[in-house]
């Protein structure tokens, strides 16, 4: 996988407002928030997108989802939140590193776009 802004954030070469970190993933505030709370949750392992997850990533995928729920609780998103991942160019993926958008702090609209 090619170098991305997220791999630089993981290595602390690019600053980010980190809200959670463990040995498998990192969560940090989006620099262009689309809601009052907008956090990105990324694996430290370089996986391009959701479509590239393999059977061997099953535990990591579950960990990312549980981390999203923990971060949402830690940030007080008790009224609800949205968790989104974009996959591929037509899906709106802008960075080729698997990431989940945790959005909250306001009522979400449907359809999303």
Q: Mind telling me the catalytic residues?
A: 99
**Bridge partners of residue 103, in order along the sequence:** 38, 82
């Amino acid at each position: 996988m090619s170098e991305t802004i997220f791999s630089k954030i993981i290595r602390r070469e690019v600053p980010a407002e980190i809200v959670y970190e463990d040995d498998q993933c990192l969560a940090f505030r989006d620099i262009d928030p689309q809601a009052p709370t907008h956090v990105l949750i990324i694996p430290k392992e370089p996986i391009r997108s959701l479509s590239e997850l393999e059977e061997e990533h099953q535990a990591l995928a579950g960990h990312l989802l549980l981390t999203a729920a923990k971060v949402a609780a830690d940030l007080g998103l008790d009224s609800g939140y949205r968790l989104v991942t974009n996959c591929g160019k037509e899906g709106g993926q802008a960075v080729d590193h698997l990431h989940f958008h945790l959005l909250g702090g306001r009522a979400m609209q449907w359809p999303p776009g």
